[in-house]
Amino acid sequence: MKFGLSVPQFEDFGDVRRLASLARDAENAGWDGFFVYGVTPGDDLGRAAAPVAPYQEVGVTWWVEGISPYDYGFGWGDDGTQEIVEKLECRVRQSPPRMSE
């Protein structure tokens, strides 16, 4: 079994240099992975690369796409709808951002 940490890329974790430093600290502490998560638009892969690029530039190697019903109009206490399920499934089928090596 492996163990990793997943952090959002906003609020206190919006500073890419801070995240890079925390990733090094996590590695030194014995964690197997340090993952940044966020949301990118799946319908425009060029635009989707923009929020990810600064993390790539400082050496972050994993981005976890956070798909959540809340990003698609689902609120606390709401019953799920087929429309929201279809939107989530659509995002899963779209490819991740296209990043340069």
3 state SS for 13-70 = HCCHHHHHHHHHHHHHHCCCEEEEEECCCCCCHHHHHHHHHHHHHCCCCCEEECCCHH
CA distances from 8 to 16, 39, 79, 86 (A): 11, 10, 26, 25
Of the listed ranges 69-73, 81-85, 89-93, the least confidently predicted one is 69-73
33 confidence band (pLDDT: 50, 70, 90) = confident
Mean pLDDT throughout 34-49?
Answer: 86
Model-level pTM? 0.67
Mean pLDDT throughout 71-94?
Answer: 79
Res 80: pLDDT: 66
Mean pLDDT throughout 46-62?
Answer: 83
12 vs 51: CA distance, rounded Å: 16
Res 29: pLDDT: 96
3 confidence band (pLDDT: 50, 70, 90) = very high
